[in-house]
Structure 1
């Protein structure tokens, strides 16, 4: 169930305790992309916990993207929360969990997954965790996971170029907010949801329960953006900052991809074949500079024309959960409890229909 975070500003929050206990607390934190809504990812995270029941799940929206407020809740003025704040925001949320487990005598193994610009936030979150004196010795980062990461030169991507031109010549925020308000005046919620489901959110190819559940969640997420002008404005304002701040930083990325693994952290990155937010040159540059499986820096590239897209969380949740499952099982053979552990909904509902393959390393053939 998605709730409102009790202490963080304008934050929706998804938290599931581990189903099975382990010697150390195992916590998976997922950091969304932009727009940073939790709704897009809940089914995906549920599927992962089915495969790895010792994982506790934490996913917070970015600050400013709260969709869980009631109609009676007092309206708060718009406030912008930039990239630095989003990093601090995740640090504070995670710190609460680490200290909670420490108070019960447990160290925490941290597993991170992040989507799009969430990967940029994750890199800087890890820096803050390592610098936090109060947390020293209380956690270990096991996994840094990137999904379609926008960590360099986002403005050079196809969508980055288009977005920059639109925001330069058009008052895009007031236009979008105006049409959102107008349509809500003339159309019912049911009609708006039907339009979103037919024209905005692609219907998944699979028709199992989990794929349809994820599709319904995505429709809800899009509707929640549509009905809230502050979320629309925040998504545009944050994207503007991304265009100027997410650039090539070899010194920082050398630390992340080359020095962090020396501390025992395994790094996994997944890239789509065609990604409108990640330029081919950016992907090739990262692959050629950092891919090193022998040192636990693994890059997977989907090379199928009909493969995973940047917006996997909308209509490819089950497919990508299967890819993630294979990748994590390869990286952490002992994470899955018991050699005969089943694959839950992935097997029962959809695996027969999937291209059931483990993802490839960079340079491997499918």
Structure 2
């Protein structure tokens, strides 16, 4: 069997964008012609792109002639660079810095594909606060984005949601440092096998995701970055940008959950009233906000149907 037949997707790489090293997963077009679409996946928080492997792999099996590119958020994960060396991000980035660098990621991708003979459709797929980043890209690159798929969009008044009120203390500066320090202490005191068991006992992670959390995310620097971004989300993301969705809402396909404590159903009804040109769904499948924990395949099937409409 040839070497190429043993190269599996996603392909794992990293690249420098705006002076920042980006952990990236890539599901390349499997056809012999240029891809008909390119999708940029923007994770929620925590922003570990590995959480989305099953989800994106299912999409790619249905649409093998589409390129899918997923990037982790800056500082949210430890990963190996292209030489195999562990990369540790030393900076804690603000929400604004994350958003600006994500715009640069889109620009790099868009330039790459604009140079091809047949420009593919440029699609964004955001999850949770990833939808806020997608919104920021569309605000300044409106004519270069063909469609935005927003899953459980955390784009409005996060601090006023049930979960936002419950977890507000966790995101305060002193508490963030305390939690990050406790994580570092646990890694020093306990064997990794014990930490794995604790992660699985949480009940919110399956076996694979528990391993990802411990191996790639459960470090003091990563926890500081994750909690810093969450704190900024509470402070920065306020009222719905009604002007944007009234003006170019037709670019958006949006999917809201029932019983979502980060994005209450009242936000769905408000979006329906504001975004009269877009497509706004309310989940009927019982999929949770954190779909990557247990509902990746179900969520992918929903998005497959959305994409069939796009390519019809």
What TM-score do the two structures reach when normalised by structure 2?
Answer: 0.86
Deviation string, structure 1 residues 110-159 (Cα, Å, up to 9, x no partner): 111101111111111112224xxxxx7xx4x3321111111111111111
Distance 1:239 1:273 in 2: 22
Which residue matches 1:242? 233
Q: C-alpha distance in 1, partners of 2:189/2:170?
A: 27
- How has the CA–CA distance of structure 1 residues 23 and 17 changed in structure 2, closer, same or farther, with 3 Å as cutoff? closer
Deviation at 1:23, TM superposition (A): 6.2
1:267 paired residue number = 252
Task: Give the deviation of 1:75 after TM superposition.
Answer: 5.0
8 A Cα contact 2:272 2:280, kept in partner: yes
Single out whichever of 145-154 and 11-20 deviates more from structure 2: 11-20
State the shift of 1:333 in Å. Answer: 4.5
- Specify the SS of the correspondent of 2:132: helix
Q: Which residue among 107, 111, 114 is the counterpart of 1:102?
A: 114
In structure 2, the residue matched to 1:347 is none
Q: Distance in 2 between matches of 1:167 and 1:312?
A: 23
Identify the residue that residue 212 of structure 1 maps to in structure 2. none
Question: Who is 2:273 aligned against?
Answer: 288
* Residue 192 (str. 1) matches residue 183 (str. 2): no
CA contact (8 A) 2:150 2:253 kept: yes
Matched length: 299
Unaligned runs of 5+ in 2: 1-10
What corresponds to 2:146 in structure 1? 142
SS at match of 2:273: helix
Deviation for aligned residue 1:167: 4.1
Q: What's the CA shift for 1:6?
A: 3.6
The reply on whether 1:317 has 2:305 as its aligned counterpart is no
Q: How far off is 1:106 after superposition? A: 3.0
Q: Determine which of 171, 181, 189 is the counterpart of 1:178.
A: 181
The answer to whether the 8 A contact 1:48-1:321 is kept is: yes
Counterpart position of 2:6: none
In structure 1, what is the Cα distance between the partners aligned to 2:66 and 2:88? 36
Choose 1 or 2 for highest CA Rg.
1
Equivalent position SS for 2:68: strand
User: Helix, strand or coil: the match of 2:51?
Assistant: coil
1:26 touches 1:54 (CA, 8 Å); kept in 2? yes
- Cα shift at 1:226: 4.9
Question: Equivalent residues in 2 for 1:15-30 (5 A)?
Answer: 15-21=26-32, 25-30=36-41
CA 1:258/1:42 → structure 2, altered by over 3 Å: closer, same or farther?
Answer: same
Tell me how far 1:69 sits from its aligned partner: 3.3
Offset at 1:22? Answer: 5.2
Q: Distance in 2 between matches of 1:10 and 1:333?
A: 33
Quote how far apart the aligned CAs of 1:82 are.
Answer: 2.0
Distance 1:18 1:186 in 2: 45
Q: State the match for 1:220 in structure 2.
A: 211
Q: Give 1:181 deviation, angstroms.
A: 2.0
Alignment deviations for residues 332-357 of structure 1 (CA, whole Å, 9 cap, x no partner): 253xxxxxxxxxxxxxxxxxxxxxxx
- Indicate conservation of the 8 Å contact 1:87/1:121, yes or no: yes
Partner secondary structure for residue 202 of structure 2 = helix
Match of 1:45 among 56, 64, 84: 56
Gaps of 5+ in 1: 131-135, 204-214, 335-366
- Residue 350 of structure 1 corresponds to which residue in structure 2? none
Give distance in 1, aligned partners of 2:52 and 2:148.
18
Establish whether residue 93 from structure 1 lines up as the match of residue 71 from structure 2: no
User: Structure 1 residues 271, 23: closer, same or farther in 2, change over 3 A?
Assistant: same
Contact persistence 1:154–1:247 (CA under 8 A): yes
Name which of 242, 250, 259 aligns with 1:253: 242
1:81 and 2:93 correspond:
yes
